[in-house]
Amino acid sequence: MAKDKRRKRIFDIIQIGNKSDPVSRAFDFFIAVVIVVNILAMFLETFEELSPLFPLFESIELVTMLIFLVEYILRIWTADYLFPGLSWPKAVLKFMLSFDGIVDLFTILPFFFLNGFVAFRMLRVVRIFHLFRINAYTDSFNVIRAVFIQKKKQIISSVFIIMVLILAASLSMYGAEHEAQPYVFENAFSGIWWAVSALLTVGYGDICPITVTGKLMAILISFLGVGVVAIPTGIISAGFVEQYTSVAGRKENEIEDLLQTVHIDLDSRWIGLDVKSVEDEYDVVVLLMRRGSKHGKPDLDYRVMAGDELVVYVK
């Protein structure tokens, strides 16, 4: 029993975004600091001028990675509290195969076994985004995730259009420029880099058309690029507007549900009670009162009478 309570307490502490628990909040802050220190040490290791400090940076990375390892073990140990409907082995497996579990694992493994895989080591940056889970309605990252899920089909369609235009632009530019620049536009794939830089930016100048036909096509493709970028941007922007409007509407409805107007009838159990007694006994907060032509926020010693109207907040 004591072991279960200890495991439950550890689970509560390591849960991200538990605002009601000061220890859990302190743990979140500690892990955030550890992540930043870990990333900073890895960043500073790229400067040859700081080579005398490399042993210090390596020690910092080792200590912070051990902290990540301990946290990962604790999350495995308490996985059945994260998935209460599953047995401990199944809960562990589900956690390890979840997005958070995979990110946590990729945070640790590259340091000990795949140190050369910088792309894997950079996955530790993803961890810090987990610390911003405030709640389901106001958390910015959850809103972004919801927008991409909601607009998934439209985004996929726009990306498909972009890929078709890139392929068409690269083939067209290859046909127009290959004879004039055989080493620059060696094959159709050589034109993809130019097509991407032209469609999505203004080009980098390392590959550019020199023929009249190629230049005219480049002008047309550049204009198309403006519209291509605007398609997914407009879809995502519209998604954000819809999502925030939906969130605001839900909040207004929640507030309306929590606020109630109470009419004090002759048989009301509130008659004769002061405001403080009403709030303590019925778990409400009296915000406003109306008695005849008088209205306003009542004092705590205000006694409720028949015929009163009270606006209360239900806790």
Residue 118: which CATH number? Answer: 1.20.120.350
What is the count of structural domains for the chain? 3
Taking alpha carbons only, the member of 97, 71, 69 closest to residue 83 is 97
- By the 10 Å C-beta count (0-12 exposed, 13-18 middle, 19+ buried), 96 is classed as middle
> Do 199 and 169 form a contact (C-beta atoms < 8 A)?
yes
Question: Within this chain, do residues 26 and 59 fall inside the same structural domain, yes or no?
Answer: yes
* Domain boundary pick from 214, 234, 255: 255
Q: Are residues 216 and 288 in the same domain?
A: no
The angle at the Cα of 172, spanning 169 to 173, to the nearest 5 degrees, equals 85
**pLDDT value at position 56?**
92
CB atoms within 10 A of CB 248: 11
Residues 39, 69, single domain; the answer is yes
Per-residue pLDDT tens over the stretch 32-50: 888 888 878 878 887 888 8
Residues 73 and 171 in one domain: no
Strands 294-296 and 259-263: unpaired
pLDDT digit string (tens) for 158-198? 888 888 888 888 888 888 888 888 888 887 777 788 878 77
| One domain, residues 122 and 21 | yes
Quick one: 291 and 184 in the same domain?
no
Q: What is the C-alpha separation between 119 and 310, in angstroms, rounded?
A: 61
In a domain, 249, yes or no: yes
Quick check: is 243 in a domain? yes
128 with 200, same domain: the answer is no
Distance linking the first and last C-alpha atoms of the chain: 33
107, 189: one domain: no
C-alpha distances in Å from residue 235, one per residue of 29, 150, 161, 239, 243 = 35, 10, 14, 6, 12
The CATH number covering residue 303 comes to 3.30.70.1450
C-alpha angle with apex 235: 229 to 238, nearest 5 degrees? 130
Residue 141 lies in a domain: no
Residue 135 is predicted with a pLDDT of 42
Look at residue 240 and tell me if it is in a domain: yes
CA distances from 146 to 127, 138, 157, 279 (A): 19, 12, 18, 38
Name the domain boundary from 255, 288, 303.
255
Say whether both 174 and 59 belong to one domain.
no
Whether 140 is in a domain gets the answer no
Q: Say yes or no: 8 and 109 in one domain.
A: yes
Whose CA is closest to 290, among 312, 271, 310?
A: 310
Q: List, edge to edge, every strand of the sheet that includes 309-314.
A: 259-263, 309-314, 284-291, 294-296
CATH of the domain at 201: 1.10.287.70
Residue at 116 is within a domain: yes
12 in the same domain as 119 = yes
pLDDT at 136: 38
Q: Which residues in the chain land under pLDDT 50?
A: 130-138
Q: Residue 300 belongs to what domain range?
A: 264-314
8 with 106, same domain: the answer is: yes
